[in-house]
Structure 1
Amino acid sequence: MRARDRGGEQQREPCGHRDHDAGLKDTVSLLPGESAEIITRFDGYRGRYLFHCHNAEHEDMGMMANLEIV
Structure 2
Amino acid sequence: MPLPQGIITGLPTTEPVFAWTVDDGSNSEVIRRYIEFSRESGTRLTFFLNGSYPRWTEHAEILKPLILNDIFVP
TM-score normalised over the length of structure 1: 0.29
**Which of the two has greater strand per residue?**
1
TM-score normalised over the length of structure 2: 0.29
